[in-house]
Structure 1
Amino acid sequence: MAGSIVTLLLAGILAQGGSIYHQGWIDLNKNGIKDPYEDPNLDIEKRIKDLLARMTVEEKTCQMATLYGYNRVLKDPQPTGQWKDQIWKDGIANIDEHLNGVNGHGMEFNTSPARHAEAINVVQRWFVEQTRLGIPVDFTNEGIRGLCCVGATCMPAQVGQASSWDPNLIAKIGRVTGREARVLGYTNIYAPILDLARDPRWGRVIEAYSEDPYLTSRLGVAMIRALQAEGVASTPKHYCIYSVPKGGRDGAARTDPHESPREVEMIFMAPWRAAFMEAKAMGTMSSYNDYDGIPITGSYQFLTERLRSQYGFRGYVVSDSDAVEFLFTKHRVAATYKDAVRQTVEAGLNVRTTFTPPDVFINPLRELIRDGVIPMELIDSRVADVLRVKFTLGLFDRPYVDPARADQVVHCQEHRQVALEAARKSLVLLKNDGNLLPLSKHLRSILVAGPNADNDDICQDRYGPYNAKIITVLQGIKAILPDANIVYVRGCDIKDRNWPESEILPEGPDPQTSQAIRQAAEAARSCQVAIVVLGEDRSVVGESKSRTSLDLPGYQLDLAKAIYATGTPTVVVLLNGRALTINWIHKHIPAILEAWAPGEYCGQAVAEALFGDINPGGKLPVTFPKTVGQIPLNFPYKPASQADERTTVNGPLYCFGHGLSYTTFAYSNLVITPNRQKTDGDITISLDVTNTGAREGDEVVQLYVRDDVSSVVTYDKVLRGFARISLRPNQTKKVVFTVHACELALVDRSSQWVVEPGTFTVMVGSSSEDIRLKGSFELVRQ
């Protein structure tokens, strides 16, 4: 089918007098002349200026809207004659998620990567050859844990990626995602998510890197640079202050974040400054929410003053789905939808995206232009940003991809190896009393129980590879111990029949569940060890899956208690997407492994860690509270904000940066150079780390700094460096950090960024609470 369409399109061009494809350039407007915008050797800004001068109002406004792909808005998987009667006959800014297979749409074009790439080429060719100016399409797609596509390489969820504390690994993941996207024809990836996971009730914690702005910034920069190094635009989301809706409520809410201006500046905007000023992200997605009464997508302050004037952003802003409409329907700051269009375009929005036809936005936009409400100069500026990204990506010069290469690249051995490395490095050992782990491979009878033991659901994701093949924990254990007697009993479901109401009015298990739990306990009595795999699945965590409790849902705790009561040594493995309040498990179960959602190699990585083939070395990127009543409880925090009270439960269950190992590490020889520096200088901090145990292992060395006295209240300590290192037994490595004085700036009483002179305490350790070495330095005025 695709081949015949390509033939027909080419025949139509040839019938008009010959091919538009020339050596080194494409005659996009089919006039037989190499016009400036068609000249690859010309400066991009000159090409944009020339093209804008040729565009009609219809063509310009079409570059300000998204066309959602097949079976979302687009009714046809491939071009048809009716496309000439659609609004996109004048072009379109981007086509989102076309033929990526989500919900089974377009599966006939996903029989192989080459088939997929060919189908994308056919659509691109229609826009190049059948529109007047031949402006190519930016094909956008999701990619927060690997490319959102059938057959792509499946990585851990972002919270698991962040548990590696390894920017080099994040860069590898970005290169894999970007490479697979580009060979299939996708040129813009809506990743990474830079929202801070400050409230564990929020459903999308699983999609965030961390609660900490510095860790999120470092990993975000690594991902953005890696994606863009592969020739695709990175569009991080959701800009901004999106992850802290009132009460952590997601879904139809996503509004009313209660954060002070100074907190917004120093905490929430930090990853975005890094994304735009350091990594030079080509795109961003504006969020649904408001801040201080003004919707972000309608905020001139955030979309123009901050984003463009302060951060130097030169790409294009795409709205989150319905973010434009919400000014009218949810926030009620626009009396009509047309006024919502006006407000968002004036604020700084370039491209509107949602699951309705693009003409819903384009037609009122054209009316606003016709009536003189929105000047053409503003439209030209918004369209120029879109064209700049397309020129930068090379779409005007190389709009098509090689389908044969797609077969060689997508899910290749090299990419699968990165997925395995990521799964291994995402694991965090929370507890290991009595060195129960690693388990002996000589065990002959093992119970594997729990609703996530043979369940791959948490490793599947709407924003990652579609229908990925996942190794479950049960499969991984069977593979690593092929001769052992592995007894599997599910025991219970993830949640009970009355969930979520059961989170506030719990009821006992039904007879069927009670019987299943008894079967699991009975099986445990005849086994040498029990591995209980608990946690969450996509029915309780993810987008629009915020919670009122952080306890294990359903009867999972009952299952753990029943198995523990048998006296059989018990290990708990967690597959989940947020911090959970697992107090009973922490108190009684001797070994706990946090695995998050490790991707396609889930079961292999978990089994390798349980039986000692690898040594887990990850650290928590989020704080685990003891109870939901402690929220907000996150890092960094202000002095005395964690103070103990006689009437409250105090302190976290697991602090930010926590993570154990099967070996031990000693820290020594802290050197700070110089110990007195100007406020525009650098401080070098070095130390030695020695593996003092009997096994090879990874340690994440964490550098924290405290501003001892400041003009405004600052944080008790802030993360300003980290390094994941591998050490053999008795091996010592020197770790060196460089802290730029500007990284110690604060927002003063005049709301200005300033580096204040004074003394700063240096703390280096294995977590935010396990500090091994301390020192200090002084900053003085220039």
Structure 2
Amino acid sequence: MKINFVISFTLFSLLVLTTSPPLPVKADGGQLDQNRKEIYHQGWIDLNKNGRMDVYENPKAPIDARVNDLLRQMNLDEKTCQTATLYGVGRGRNATDIPLKDELPTPEWKHKLWKDGIANIDEHLNGVGPNGKSIYATDIPKHVWAMNEVQRFFIEETRLGIPVDFTNEGLRGLAFSTATSFPSELGQGHTWDKELVGEIGRIEADEARSLGYTNVYAPTLDVSRDQRWGRIEDTYGEDPYLVSRLGVEMARAMQKNYQIASTAKHFAIYSIAKGAREGQARTDPQATPHEVENIFLPPFKAVIKEAGLLGVMSSYNDYDGTPVTGSHYWLTERLRNDFGFRGYVVSDSAAVEYLYNKHGVATDMKDAVRQSIEAGLNVKTNFTPPEDFVLPLRELVKEGKVPMQTLDDRVRDVLRVKFILGIFDHPYVDNANRAEKIVNSPEHQQVALRAARESIVLLKNDRHALPLSKDIHSIAVIGPNADDDNLTRYRYGPNQVKGTTVLQGIKNKLGDRVKVNYAKGCDVTDEHWPQTEVLPEPLTDKEREEIAKAVDVAKRSDVAVVVLGDSPSTVGETASRTSLDLPGRQLDLVQAVYATGKPVVVVLLNGRPISINWIDKYVPGIIEGWFPGAQGGTAIADVLFGDYNPGGKLSVTFPKTVGQIPYNFPTKPNAQWEGEKTRVNGALYFFGYGLSYTTFGYSNLRINPLVVSESGRQGSPLTVTITCDVTNSGTREGDEVVQLYTRELVTSVTTYEKSLRGFERIHLNPGETKTVSFTLSRDDLALWNRQMHFVIEPGKFKVMIGSGSEDIRLAGQFEINR
């Protein structure tokens, strides 16, 4: 990793040195004339305006030397300003308490705290919330000009010219008004496509940097272990290996050539709040030390070590009584010392404040600042003025309660990332026309369509209910999510982009030759929801009337497509649930449509697994579409009518009832008696499950070697190669996700029944065979032992390859000896 880092940065430095620092652009996208301050020179910028090239201004100097030279010149005020976030214009605690009221620099800025610099500005002019109607958030050339003007203030009007790191969100694409809209992260997880997720990361980074953002808060590396939890939609799924592999591809692609920084979240153990009750502090996660090491930490460890992650967001929650953001163990001993993290840590919003006003481990804000800085936090973020953190920190340093060396260490990390990103040498976007050309471009939309298609999972297809024939006269499209464009927009992604709904996608697919009848039928939730989850209410007259309209539409059609699922009110941040059933009157609606006797298929657009037991029993065709992004309606229509063969696989388990929770993969051996009649056993749909319009055969398992030494072979590291052949034995081309699972048969501690250790999504034409190969390494085969260390325990290992965790097609063994 270090060698790759040096090579990549050297190439980047050569690129920087061959050109003069670009000047900002005009609001119309044209080039500005020579800047009014003579600080811009061939190949460097006189950031401290002293007329000579200091070490930190020299692009040829090593990064550590540049950081040290800059730190030596910084005073206390300048150092402390590099430890706080300034939230973008209009964002605040409430409508009257807004830290940044200006879209562009004003004369007052020279009297604000950030006259001495700031670590980052978050979500500036991205179209979210109060700035959504700003011309600078919707007109791309004007947006680029405005971002350059803000950066110009920090370059030209602060003493040392330290540039700002423009941060932004990016879970379904970049959080910008018109960025390319991708499926939710959970939808991306269901593609099981590493190359595709990397392509999404590349596009997101390219769009971000072209718009002036240099740091994106993605990916989410939380492993979702409770289906009730609202933010499950923002995760890749429930398995640590799957999350790790997709997270590595995303972060690596985002940071290629250090175009932007990837800041992964939320470290650590954030995704298992007790009973999925989030509150405001995500307190009391229920996870044993073994679960922490085997389930929750591996994604962060992998992405840091393999992708050179430049950013980590520390989480709100505590673990075993210690809040993570105030923990030296988590932010320093584990993150930096164990995992080798070399970027900077930013707090989740209000995580520092929670040390005293939620967790109660600090006496006041000043004490919370001290604890977090000592723990290893670099930058505090919240919808509050940066003074709330910076001023107490200055007092703590002056009082000797925070050593200057500690402050220097925290600032050094922030500066290092800024140097790595090249924004000291190229602080401005120099081509607004490029941003206008690539943001949500046709090429990027094609990748989004591919992602939407690949995220779709075929859950049921009895009697070949799907695909639907195009040779029909009429079709009913029914349901609250059939024509809801709001599902396209998202707080942590593109927020003003228009998408294609399922209704629109079907109309586009069928044209005028088929009559498309539409009825909403009901809303996602009823008027008394969420109270009706625990105290059901009878249908109102209005609700009966809307369902009756849908029934009439179904009766007048040859087939009915019923589109059900979630909305932002039922899933998302702070939207955990007590039930996994369809919310509102949606089950009443589909039952009424089914009772017409017309052929029915169901499409789910949702953000968590839903217990659709009645639908699974009676409806012959079920498609899971998740939140598929702006291209979702087109992708769903492609699958419904057979123009695309679905190949997605579940990255989360679908329980039959909420009472089965916790129910996840991987799992320990089942302790219940087989055949017990009084309990609901088994999942509705298991991890790794997904059907296709074609069939696949597995054969010719090879394991090499069958016996290997713990120390490896002939001086090489311990590896075992697993190979098999996969054949498309059906009549349609399609994708198959080949999954590799392992289990050591006898161990010193109990282990999981199966552990995912490899997967490949492959495309096969009818009759085509491909060979798929996996290589198991020491890390894949090690376990967390009783002495709390990852070790190889010699013994026999079972290898299982199949189409899902409960659909194993091939099995074999190999042995590791001493």
Paired residue secondary structure (1:197): coil
In 2, distance between residues paired with 1:694 and 1:70? 56
Q: Give the C-alpha shift of residue 407 in structure 1.
A: 1.1
Whole-Å separation in 2 of the counterparts to 1:652 and 1:539: 26
Conserved? CA contact 1:245–1:253, under 8 Å: no
Q: Bigger CA drift: 647-656 or 380-389?
A: 647-656
Distance 2:449 2:780 in 1: 34
Q: Which residue of 2 aligns with 1:349?
A: 377
Contact 1:2-1:119 within 8 A present in 2 as well: no
- Amino-acid identity (%): 59
SS at match of 1:716: coil
Corresponding residue SS for 2:797: strand
Q: Give the Cα–Cα distance (whole angstroms) in 2 for the partners of residues 140 and 117 of structure 1.
A: 14
1:725 is aligned to 2:756: no
Seen in structure 2, the aligned counterparts of structure 1 residues 252 and 731 have a Cα distance that, compared at 3 Å, is same
- Of 402, 409, 415, 1:387 maps to 415
Match among 503, 507, 510 for residue 474 of structure 1: 503
Provide the rounded CA distance (Å) in 2 between the counterparts of 1:4 and 1:406. Answer: 13
Report which stretch shifted further, 637-646 or 676-685: 637-646
Aligned to 1:91: 117
1:676 matched to 2:707: yes
Q: 1:124 to 1:641 in 2, by over 3 A?
A: farther
Is it true that 1:195 corresponds to 2:222 in the alignment? Answer: yes
Residue 518 (1) aligns with residue 548 (2): yes
Q: Do the aligned partners of residues 181 and 643 (structure 1) sit closer, same or farther apart at CA in structure 2, a change above 3 Å counting?
A: farther
| C-alpha distance 167-128 of structure 1, shift in aligned 2 (>3 A) | same
Find the counterpart in structure 1 of residue 61 from structure 2.
Answer: 42
Shift of residue 641, structure 1, vs aligned partner: 4.8
CA contact (8 A) 1:170 1:223 kept: yes
Match for 1:53: what amino acid?
R
CA shift, 1:457, in A, is: 2.5
Instruction: Indicate the residue corresponding to 2:178 in structure 1.
Output: 151
Q: State the partner residue of 2:3.
A: none
Does structure 1 retain, via aligned residues, the 8 Å contact 2:488–2:498? no
TM-score by length of 1: 0.98
Counterpart mapping for 1:628-643 below 5 A = 628-641=658-671
* 1:699 maps to 2:736: yes
Structure 1 residue 252 displacement after superposition: 1.9
8 Å contact 2:127–2:138 — kept in the other structure? no
Matched, 1:211 2:230: no
Q: Quick one: which amino acid aligns to residue 61 of structure 1? A: T
| Structure 1 residue 104, shift from structure 2 partner | 4.6
Cross-structure match for 2:255? 228
Q: CA deviation at 1:456?
A: 2.3
Check the 8 A contact 2:194/2:245 in 1, yes or no: yes
Q: What is the 5 A alignment of 1:517-596?
A: 517-596=547-626
**Structure 2 residue matching 1:165: 3-state secondary structure:** coil
Preserved CA contact (<8 Å) 1:458 1:576 = no
| Matched AA of 2:771 | K
Which amino acid is the alignment partner of residue 449 of structure 1?
I
Does the Cα contact within 8 Å between 2:212 and 2:428 map onto a contact in 1? yes
| Aligned residue in 2 for 1:334 | 362
Q: Equivalences for 1:163-312 in 2 at 5 Å?
A: 163-229=190-256, 231-312=259-340
Q: Report the CA distance shift for 1:292/1:250 in structure 2 as closer, same or farther (over 3 A).
A: same
1:753-774 deviation per Cα after TM superposition (whole angstroms, max 9, x unaligned): 1011000000101000000010
Aligned with residue 657 of structure 1, among 672, 684, 688: 688
Counting only pairs closer than 5 Å after superposition, residues 409-420 of structure 1 correspond to structure 2 as: 409-420=438-449
In 1, the alpha carbon distance for the partners of 2:229 and 2:183 equals: 19
Does residue 458 in structure 1 map to residue 484 in structure 2? no
Distance 1:111 1:246, change over 3 A: closer
> Which amino acid in 2 is paired with 1:21?
Y
- 3-state secondary structure, aligned to 2:804: coil
Give 1:5 deviation, angstroms: 14
Shift of 1:253: 4.3
Cα pair 1:492 1:556 within 8 Å, conserved:
yes
CA distance in 2, matches of 1:148, 1:560: 35
SS in 1 for 2:182: coil
The code of the aligned residue for 2:448 comes to A
- Cα distance in 2 for partners of 1:755, 1:83 equals 58
Structure 1 counterpart SS, 2:483: coil
Backbone CA RMSD of aligned residues: 1.6
Corresponding residue of 1:398: 426
Q: Is the 8 A contact 1:251 1:545 kept in 2?
A: no
The residue type equivalent to 2:727 in the other structure is T
Equivalent position of 1:437 in the other structure: 466
Q: Point out where structure 1 has 5 or more consecutive residues left out of the alignment.
A: none
Task: Specify whether residues 672 and 6 from structure 1 end up closer, same or farther in structure 2 by C-alpha distance, changes over 3 A only.
Answer: closer
Cα offset for 1:162?
0.7
CA contact (8 A) 1:251 1:543 kept: no
CA distance, structure 2, for counterparts of residue 449 and residue 639 of structure 1: 42
Deviates more, 1:231-240 or 1:408-417: 408-417
For residue 741 of structure 1, report the CA deviation from its aligned partner.
2.6
Mapped to 1, the partners of 2:565 and 2:169 lie a distance apart of 25
Kept in 2, the 8 Å contact 1:642–1:651? The answer is no
Q: Which residue of 1 aligns with 2:103?
A: 77
1:280: Cα distance to partner?
1.0
**Which AA in structure 2 matches 1:771?**
I
Tell me which amino acid in the other structure corresponds to 1:665.
F
1:465 Cα shift? Answer: 0.5
- Which amino acid is the alignment partner of residue 88 of structure 2? G
Q: List alignment gaps of at least 5 residues for structure 2.
A: 1-23, 92-98, 713-717
Out of 400-409 and 614-623, give the one that drifted further: 400-409
1:770 aligned residue (798, 803, 807): 807
Paired letter, 2:87: Y
TM-score scaled by length of structure 2: 0.93
CA contact (8 A) 1:458 1:536 kept: no
Asked whether the 8 Å contact 1:157–1:459 carries over to 2, the reply is no
| Aligned-pair CA distance for 1:262 | 1.0
Deviation at 1:251, TM superposition (A): 4.0
Q: Secondary structure at the match of 1:237?
A: strand
Deviation string 1:720-769 (CA, Å, 9 cap, x unpaired) is 00011111111111111111132111111111110110000001010000
TM-superposed deviation, 1:458: 2.6
How has the CA–CA distance of structure 1 residues 642 and 311 changed in structure 2, closer, same or farther, with 3 Å as cutoff? farther
Q: Distance in 1 between matches of 2:465 and 2:381?
A: 52
Equivalent residues of 2:669, 2:753 under 8 A apart? yes
Q: Give me the whole-angstrom Cα distance separating, in 1, the residues matched to 2:182 and 2:309.
A: 22
Query: Counterparts of 1:680-759 in structure 2 under 5 Å?
Result: 680=712, 681-759=718-796
Q: Distance in 2 between matches of 1:272 and 1:369?
A: 32
Query: Which of 42, 52, 60 in structure 2 is aligned with 1:33?
Result: 52
For the 8 Å contact 2:25–2:432, the answer to whether it is kept is no
Query: How many residues get paired?
Result: 776
Structure 2 counterpart of 1:605: 635
Name the aligned partner's letter for residue 685 of structure 2.
Y
Aligned-partner Cα distance in 2 for 1:488–1:413: 29
Q: CA offset at residue 518 of structure 1?
A: 1.5
Could you say what secondary structure the match of 1:705 adopts? strand
SS at match of 2:255: helix
**Which residue is 2:11 aligned to?**
none
Equivalent residue of 1:738, what SS?
strand
> Which is further off, 398-407 or 104-113?
104-113
Q: Which is worse superposed, 244-253 or 178-187? A: 244-253
Deviations 1:421-455 (A, max 9, x none): 10110000000000110000111111100000001
Q: Could you tell me how far 1:112 is from its partner in structure 2?
A: 2.5
Superposition deviation, residue 642 in structure 1: 6.5
**CA shift for structure 1 position 249:** 1.2
Deviation at 1:526, TM superposition (A): 2.3
